[in-house]
């Protein structure tokens, strides 16, 4: 995976060309040399994007959408550390018809119910098979499952989850309340487990998400 950061005025940087990039991590904004270093994205399958400085509310829409328009094989799109003050809630206003895995879990904010509805009404709802997200309300989990008809796996953090605020629950064999609630509200064919690996989000710091296989 190549990680591209803003230039350091290195005169040798522009001499490199990467013609068949498949996995790319990039910080926005990019400078004029970026397209000369990576002139094509037709082999790109995984893209991770983040702002170079999350304290500034730059508008990356045009730059990122231009890249997405040139990536016909892109499967996985990951957003990291998006500005909490940004007027745009990722990734609703972006589009790429080939993306099947969307990760907005670590963007330093949780999707509220209205933002979840906006995501459901976007083009992503018709194509996303794997979604990683952080939500404020557990009812939004059901909304996402019911509305995103292609969804096969949901990796979700929820503010309305006692497990991540109760150390006793995490270290004991007590029933996982949110998993029990979800099992009561979704078909028995769904598999629901607590993620063994920690997830990170500004509103949670570190916690354990829930994995829902939809079947």
pLDDT tens by residue, 176-209: 999 999 999 999 999 999 999 887 766 665 689 9
46 located within any domain: yes
* pLDDT number for residue 52: 75
Q: pTM for the full model?
A: 0.85
171 located within any domain: no
75 located within any domain: yes
CATH of the domain at 121: 3.80.10.10
Q: Which residues contact 19 (CB under 8 A, 6 or more apart)?
A: 39, 40
212 located within any domain: no
* pLDDT number for residue 109: 83
Top-confidence residue, 61 or 134: 134
What range does the domain containing 77 cover? Answer: 2-162
**Which SS3 state, helix, strand or coil, does residue 156 take?**
strand
Nearest-10 crossing angle of helices 138-147, 177-185: 40
92 located within any domain: yes
Q: Which residues contact 108 (CB under 8 A, 6 or more apart)?
A: 54, 81, 82, 83, 84, 201, 202, 203
Q: Mark 190-214 as b/e (b = at least 16 C-beta within 10 Å).
A: eebeeeeeebebeebeebbbbbbeb
Q: How many domains does the chain have?
A: 1
* pLDDT number for residue 101: 98
Bridge partners, 153 (sequence order)? 130, 213
Top-confidence residue, 9 or 99: 99
DSSP type of residue 178: H
* pLDDT number for residue 165: 65
Mean pLDDT of 130-135: 96
- Contact predicate 194/212, CB 8 Å: no
Quick check: 81 pLDDT over 90?
A: no
Question: Which pair of structure tokens corresponds to residue 152?
Answer: 């096969």
* pLDDT number for residue 70: 95
pLDDT (tens digit per residue) in 58-73:
567 788 999 999 999 9
183 located within any domain: no
* pLDDT number for residue 168: 43
- What is the pLDDT confidence band of residue 173, given thresholds at 50, 70 and 90? very low
């Amino acid at each position: 995976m190549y990680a591209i950061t803003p230039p350091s005025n290195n005169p040798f940087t522009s001499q490199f060309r990467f013609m068949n990039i498949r996995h790319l991590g990039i910080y926005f904004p990019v400078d004029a040399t970026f397209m000369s270093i990576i002139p094509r994205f037709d082999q790109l399958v995984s893209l991770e994007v983040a702002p170079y400085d999350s304290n500034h509310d730059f508008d990356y829409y045009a730059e990122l959408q231009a890249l997405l328009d040139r990536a016909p094989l892109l499967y996985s799109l990951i957003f990291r550390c998006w500005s909490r003050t940004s007027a745009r809630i990722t990734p609703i206003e972006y589009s790429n018809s080939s993306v099947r895995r969307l990760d907005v879990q670590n963007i330093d904010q949780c999707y509220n119910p209205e933002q979840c509805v906006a995501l459901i009404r976007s083009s992503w709802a018709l194509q996303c098979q794997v979604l990683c997200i952080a939500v404020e309300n557990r009812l939004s989990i059901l909304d996402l499952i019911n509305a995103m008809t292609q969804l096969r796996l949901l990796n979700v953090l929820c503010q309305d989850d006692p497990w991540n605020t109760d150390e006793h629950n995490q270290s004991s064999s007590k029933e996982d309340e949110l998993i029990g609630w979800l099992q009561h509200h979704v078909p028995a064919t769904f598999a629901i487990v607590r993620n063994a690996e920690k997830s990170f989000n500004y509103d949670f710091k570190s916690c354990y998400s829930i994995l829902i296989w939809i079947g």
